[in-house]
Amino acid sequence: MPLLYNFNKLSKFSILSNLIKSNFKILITTLLKASEKNQIISNC
């Protein structure tokens, strides 16, 4: 039973870490796009 419990905890943690990673990638891409837009505006 403890083994199964640990496995459930690990799977939940991996799902959480995957969510965080994907959200982090989205955040970085949006920040990069925003900075590119700001550069275009400042160049004008």
Three-state DSSP class for 3?
A: helix
Question: What does the DSSP assignment read for 1-44?
Answer: -HHHHHHHHHHHHHHHHHHHHHHHHHHHHHHHHHHHHHHHHHH-
Measured CA to CA, the distance from residue 2 to residue 30 in angstroms comes to 42
What pLDDT is recorded for position 16? 86
Measured CA to CA, the distance from residue 15 to residue 23 in angstroms comes to 12
**Residue 1 pLDDT more than 60?**
no
Q: Convert the pLDDT of each residue in 5-31 to its tens digit.
A: 777 787 888 888 888 899 999 999 999
